[in-house]
Structure 1
Amino acid sequence: MTTTGEDHEPARGGPWWWDRRRGAVLDVSLGVVSALECAAEGVPFARDAGIPPAMGVVFGLLAGSMLVVRRKWPIAVVLVALAITPAEMGFLMGVVGLYTMAASELPRRIIGALAGMTFLGTLVVTFVRLGQDMARDGLDLGDWFLPFASIATSLGMTAPPLLLGLYVGQRRRLMESLRERADSLERELQLLAERAEERAEWARGEERTRIAREMHDVVAHRVSLMVVHAAALQAIARKDPEKAVKNAALVGDMGRQALTELREMLGVLRSGGGGARAERASVPLAAVGVAAAAAASRAAEDGESSSEGPCLSELDELIGQSEAAGMVVNLSVEGAERAYAAEVESTAFRVVQEALTNVHKHAAGAKTHVRLAHRVSEIAMQVENEPPPEVSSASSARLPSGGNGLVGMKERVAALGGVFVSGPTDAGGFRVSAVIPAS
């Protein structure tokens, strides 16, 4: 894993302005070598200048030791090297100082100006000294030799350290830029991983909600009817054996239907869960969030594709089951029937189913009106029950209620961009209304 930008920063463990101890050791070593060189070159300089040799040595030591501060003040090092060039001193200091200045973050115009001054100073000093030596030794190598030798010497002392310093500085800046980009990319990847994990958690929550809603729709209606029939069976078992047998058969049929729907749903969950586990096992840890989101999405898609859910054509069968349980249900349909998207038909069916289930739970025996309207761009449904009778054969069933039916219906309708309203009527009954866009 790539480390962060803070980890790339060098640890400041050196004294004063040095980032590292080895940098301080290197600069001090170069300063000592430069001081010794300048001290040795200070003896002939003092002899030519007519001063005591000790003064030339001290001057050389002081001038050469300036190389120690090359990282902090590279311009000062180059200027000192340029100042002692006429004395034929500071060869090492001039080369190292020029390299350090070129590799630093100084503006290009300052580096170019000082490099040009160093080149001109070396050229003039070389031209004068070499001319004096040739005249003293009586050498005559032609008029071209002196300028050529001076230019070659100046270029040899300035061009290599300058070009090397520019290359090292540019490479250093490039590496820093690449490191910053890598750190930025890592932060973005971490952010994406966090967002992917959030999306995966959201997808898992949505899937849990969807599964809970489907389980409620499958179990609540079937089991409620079974409990109602069982209560009725208990009441008429001795009085009307034939009707009791009929009710028992209905209870068995509804139980088998509920078990079949539960098995289908559990089969979808098993196949979807296996795909998610396989997906997670085949990807790196950094992509777990993305894989989880994709797996949850695929599981949801697989669940929808393998079991599209009920449709409006099954509405007559649903109402027939409620009528078989002793409820009086009137169904009215407005508009021309047409096909809708699977999720629209499934939601409309579930709303009617849950509303009828609530009537069985809270108003057993009440007359119920189911209205379905096919409109141009939407489908509307309404389930309204009248006040329950004072005495009902099914009232002793005491059906439990979790209080999630209306919430689940509202969530289903809202997910499709529809409107859901429920509440008691003035007559003492209860009304459930929903409008769902057709597309």
Structure 2
Amino acid sequence: MERVARWRTWTTELSPYVLDSFLALVSAGIAVWAVYNDDTRWPTWVYLLAVATAVPLPWRRRAPLTVLALYSAAEITLSVLAHSANAQVPLAGVLGLYTVAERCSDRARWSVLAVTVVGNVVGTHSPNGALFSVLTSGGSFVFGALVRTQRQLVRVEAERAREAGVRAASEAGRAVAEERARIAREMHDILAHAVSLMVIQAEAGPLVVRGDPDRAIRTFDTIADAGRDAMVQLRRVLGVLKDPEAGRELAPQPRLTELADVAERVRQAGLDVEFELADGLGALPADVEAAAFRIVQEALTNTVKHSGADRAAIRVRRSGEVLEVVVSDNGRGVPLTADRTVAGWSGGRGLVGIRERAAACGGRAEAGPGPEGRGFLVSVRLPLGPAGVVERVGG
């Protein structure tokens, strides 16, 4: 196989020279035939001069101007000393001019064409001969220019195809990264919320199991409900990952009405939650509704884990073509940095997830201290229609 590959490589590299050498032999044969069939008996040096017009042809691709100059020197000498022995169609001249038009710079090409036309008019002995020479030279030049243009178009198309391939690969990589980030957010929101409630309830269980058995039973029921809910949602996410034919539409799409169940489970964990879902929300885009649900879920999880609050409030309402979501609590809040931004806004996975979910819907998320610096407040605005403009996420 290696020998075959080397043979193919060698023949590919050699083929232009083989072809041009063959053309040189044909051109030399035509030139010699023209000398032989002339009425005058020419000496040997005329035959050699005719052959000399074709000798440079094998190198026409590498040095087209040099090859054409060598041909022209031999051809002019032959035309001056033995004009009638010239071939009617000098193949070497046609190939040389074609190669210059196809491979050289614009300045060199047009200069050569001008000199060739002048030489054809001055160097022929009749108007008909001059016209025939000009047409032959012009045709060779035009054909070479057309081939040059075609090859440039092919290179442009190849470059466009390469760039399209690079863009497609980049877009595919970006899509994979976005999907991984989306799945990571789903997994984080599901597990963080459920596990936080389960840990808090489990910690409270031993304290009430003897003094208030009924409350202890409710506590363990809450733990079981949170675990079952998390398992159901995880199965839905993992089902999308396992099925290569599954589309994004199979991913979990919670509804805002389910927030009442979330609020109830948080209440059972000891946090008094006030939930207000405004009437007249109408039909909401599935991605916006799911994003709002997860944002509220994550905000409540942060409240349970970090705030030390005993009350929280959820407000969801529609304002024109914007869905407004506000989650607040009366906890200890968070410190501010020197530039009056929330410390940790860019670091915590939960708040980052809230910001990413809002941005993915073309909306805006803000987080910071509540009224008069007490508690913590998360405010999100999500556009509902295609007219929604992506806003820079603040914090």
| Normalised TM-score (structure 2) | 0.69
Measured in 1, the distance between the counterparts of 2:113 and 2:261 equals 86
| Aligned-residue offset at 1:32 | 11
Which SS does the other structure have where 2:300 is aligned? helix
State the partner residue of 2:318: 374
Deviations 1:340-377 (A, max 9, x none): 22222222222221111111101345211222332223
User: Counterpart of 2:379 in structure 1: which amino acid?
Assistant: S
Deviations 1:86-112 (A, max 9, x none): 6x5x34598456645764645389448
CA contact (8 A) 2:256 2:293 kept: yes
Which SS does the other structure have where 2:270 is aligned? coil
Measured in 2, the distance between the counterparts of 1:30 and 1:216 equals 79
Measured in 1, the distance between the counterparts of 2:40 and 2:290 equals 104
Of stretches 364-373 and 235-244 in structure 1, the one that deviates more from structure 2 is 364-373
State the partner residue of 1:358: 302
Measured in 2, the distance between the counterparts of 1:418 and 1:22 equals 66
Q: Where do 5+ consecutive residues of structure 1 fail to align?
A: 1-6, 14-18, 46-56, 124-153, 276-298, 389-401
Deviations 1:203-262 (A, max 9, x none): 000000000011112111122111111111121112222221221122112111110110
State the partner residue of 2:377: 431
User: Counterpart of 2:270 in structure 1: which amino acid?
Assistant: G
Give the length in aligned residue pairs.
337
CA contact (8 A) 1:380 1:436 kept: yes
Measured in 1, the distance between the counterparts of 2:328 and 2:30 equals 103
- Residue 189 of structure 2 corresponds to residue 194 of structure 1: no
- Residue 113 of structure 2 corresponds to residue 107 of structure 1: yes
Measured in 1, the distance between the counterparts of 2:89 and 2:359 equals 79
Give the aligned CA root-mean-square deviation in angstroms. 4.2
Question: Cα gap change, 1:44/1:350 in structure 2, threshold over 3 Å: closer, same or farther?
Answer: closer
State the partner residue of 1:181: 153
Measured in 2, the distance between the counterparts of 1:434 and 1:33 equals 86
Measured in 2, the distance between the counterparts of 1:25 and 1:339 equals 78
Measured in 1, the distance between the counterparts of 2:309 and 2:90 equals 106
Structure with bigger gyration radius: 1
User: Counterpart of 1:254 in structure 2: which amino acid?
Assistant: A
Question: Cα gap change, 1:257/1:77 in structure 2, threshold over 3 Å: closer, same or farther?
Answer: same
State the partner residue of 1:227: 199
Measured in 1, the distance between the counterparts of 2:283 and 2:34 equals 99
User: Counterpart of 1:235 in structure 2: which amino acid?
Assistant: L
Within 5 A, what are the aligned runs for 1:330-349? 330-332=274-276, 336-349=280-293
| Normalised TM-score (structure 1) | 0.63
Of stretches 362-371 and 240-249 in structure 1, the one that deviates more from structure 2 is 362-371
User: Counterpart of 1:72 in structure 2: which amino acid?
Assistant: L
State the partner residue of 2:60: none
| Aligned-residue offset at 1:179 | 3.2
Within 5 A, what are the aligned runs for 1:45-64? 57=43, 60=46, 64=50
| Aligned-residue offset at 1:79 | 3.8
Measured in 2, the distance between the counterparts of 1:28 and 1:114 equals 24
Select which of 227, 236, 242 maps to 2:208. Answer: 236
State the partner residue of 1:403: 348
CA contact (8 A) 1:233 1:244 kept: yes
**Percent identity (aligned):** 27
Select which of 191, 207, 219 maps to 2:179. Answer: 207
Within 5 A, what are the aligned runs for 1:114-193? 114=120, 118=124, 120=126, 172-193=144-165
State the partner residue of 2:261: 317
Deviations 1:159-216 (A, max 9, x none): 6x98887766655554444333323222221111111111111000000000001111
Measured in 1, the distance between the counterparts of 2:113 and 2:121 equals 12
Structure with more relative contact order (C-alpha pairs < 8 Å, separation 6 or more)? 1
Question: Cα gap change, 1:103/1:119 in structure 2, threshold over 3 Å: closer, same or farther?
Answer: farther
Question: Cα gap change, 1:347/1:25 in structure 2, threshold over 3 Å: closer, same or farther?
Answer: closer
State the partner residue of 1:269: 241
| Aligned-residue offset at 1:405 | 0.5
